Amino acid sequence: MSEEATSDIPVPRAPVSRKINPVLKSSDMPDDMQSKVFDLAEEAMNANKKAVDIAASLKKSMDKLYGSTWHCIVGKNFGSFVSHESGYFVYFYVDSLAFLLFKTA
């Protein structure tokens, strides 16, 4: 097949990436880790539509990067009361979606 013939084949476009603007509510993690969390949250939101899938993606990424055991809750309406390792907690919003991420021993 010539190059000219292949140019007529439609190429799927990558989904448009959305830049997030996280609003920090509470954190005791180092700034560099917190920035990484925000980057990973953006990636998870761009790749997934459901809150449970966003949470799973973020949890798995944090386990891989910083060791286990991370817990992640993403949603619009939840209460929480958690214990965590010192230096490994962040709570933030992206629009109306809340993110609670923390590490336990």
- pLDDT top residue among 61 and 4: 61
- The predicted pLDDT at position 8 comes to 58
Look at residue 11 in the predicted model and tell me its pLDDT: 46
In 50-64, which positions are buried (b, 16+ CB within 10 angstroms) versus exposed (e)? Answer: ebeebbebbbebbee
Domain ranges in the chain are 23-103
- The CATH fold assigned to 23-103 is Protein Inhibitor Of Neuronal Nitric Oxide Synthase (3.30.740)
Task: State the average pLDDT over residues 2-20.
Answer: 59
pTM of the shown model: 0.83
Binned at pLDDT 50, 70 and 90, residue 82 comes out as: very high
pLDDT for the residue 7: 46
